[in-house]
Amino acid sequence: MKKRILTAIVATVLALSLLPLSMFAANAPSAADLKTPPAISKLEIHNDGQNNVWLEVTVQTPANVKSAVDYYENHEKGYNQAGYLSGISLEYSIDGGEWEETTLNYSPNYGQNEDNWNGIFETEYLSKLKVDSSIKVRARYTGADEAGNIRVSDWSNTLVLNEKADFEAHDWAKAELAQADKLGLIPDSLKNADLTKPITRAEFAAVSVKVFEALTNTKATPVTNNPFTDTKDAEVLKALNVGVTNGVSATKFEPDTLLNREQAATMLTRVYKKVALSGWTLETDGNFSAAFKALFTAPAAFADDKNISAWAKDSVYFMASKGIINGVGNNTFAPRATTSAEQAAGYAQATREQALIIATRMVTNLG
């Protein structure tokens, strides 16, 4: 990157001082001129392929600010006596973090003979910045008054790049949810939703589709003929077409029914079977039992193993063996509610955040 710091434009005063003062007839800037911010119209993340990442922004300077620059550079009292505007600084926030400020330099994409106050500018390398970071930026002019006191303009408009969903989730889940968002695993139905709530069959079907697409690098499509009378959800129809879920009957899906933990483990395990076992289908699952069990070594049984449904056990222990779904403490898995009291309390219900964390671990651990 070129390191021609923007504040270097002050040097132009030496050349301008050789010209007749009569050439410059600018009026003294008003207080409003001095507070007028720049406008930023484009934001990009750049990298050199060697872990050096920086920001590039396109800046426009209003005409009244350009006039202020001309006035301070050419005022008859002298540059330092009149005060000055020296450059543009950028404030940025990475992945929702605190605002930090940095100076802007000329970009290699910026012509050397172009206007000093309009064009493409860049930051230094930013150690916290990644190529897929969520980033927001704003800019302002910096300078000093005739007494040498620091002077800044108002902040510009704010630009946002790679905006992430605003999670309403438990603190322990947020790091993995941010990873889920970066991996594109959060379906539209769950963006900006309360992720602490239980997940429905339709929502989990959408998550399953995202996992399938991530593991296969393909796009799922809905079935042509919808067999269900209780939903037209495109993600449900995609999951049906992929073959990782079906209805509770030939014509009913029950999209709003809540899932428990063993059901969630089973549905996402089907996604992995679809990817890993050539020829596997939901209808022929029983034919692949030995091939599937050969893919993992089951850990020691959970203390509540007897409460895990027979059809879900292989999936539960597969997920546990791969570090995708952990127990809930005291070596228990909490697969499902087994009493009316547990059902009333929502025991073992899979939550949206749990589903997305499972999805994230599947893609990162098994992808």
pLDDT of residue 103: 87
- Supply the pLDDT for residue 77: 65
Distance CA 7, CA 138 (A): 18
What CA–CA distance (Å, rounded) separates 24 from 237?
71
- Answer for the pair 241, 211: CB distance below 8 angstroms, yes or no: no
Token couple for 286: 């029983």
Neighbouring residues of 117: CB distance < 8 A, sequence distance ≥ 6: 9, 59, 61, 65, 66, 69, 88
CATH 1.10.3080.10 fits 6-161, yes or no: no
Question: Where are the CATH 2.60.40.10 domain residues in the chain?
Answer: 6-161
Please state the pTM of the whole predicted model: 0.60
Q: How many CB atoms lie within 10 A of CB 194?
A: 12
**CB-based burial, 5-42: b 16+ in 10 Å, e otherwise:** ebbebbeeeeeeeeeeeeeeeeeebeeebbebbbebee
**Can you give the pLDDT at residue 2?**
37
Q: What is the token pair recorded at 118?
A: 């309009």
Encoded tokens for 2: 């070129």
First to last CA, the chain: 36
Angle between helices 261-276 and 313-321 (to 10 degrees): 80
Distance CA 338, CA 5 (A): 68
What phi-psi label fits residue 175: left (phi over 0), alpha (psi between -120 and 50 degrees) or beta? Answer: alpha
Task: Specify the DSSP element, H or E, that contains 237.
Answer: helix 234-242
Amino acid at 131: V
SS3 80: helix
Check residue 76 and give its pLDDT: 66
Mean pLDDT of successive 10-residue segments in the chain (367 residues)? 39 37 58 91 89 92 88 70 81 90 79 69 92 91 86 92 79 88 90 92 96 94 95 95 92 95 93 95 94 94 95 94 88 92 90 94 89
DSSP state of 186: -
Q: What is the pLDDT, as a whole number, of residue 17?
A: 39
Q: What is the largest CA-CA distance in the chain?
A: 95
pLDDT at 78 (0 to 100)? 57
CB 43 within 8 A of CB 133: no
Which tokens in the block code for residue 342?
């547990």
Q: How many CA atoms lie within 13 A of 228 on its CB side?
A: 24
Residue corresponding to tokens 């980033």: 135
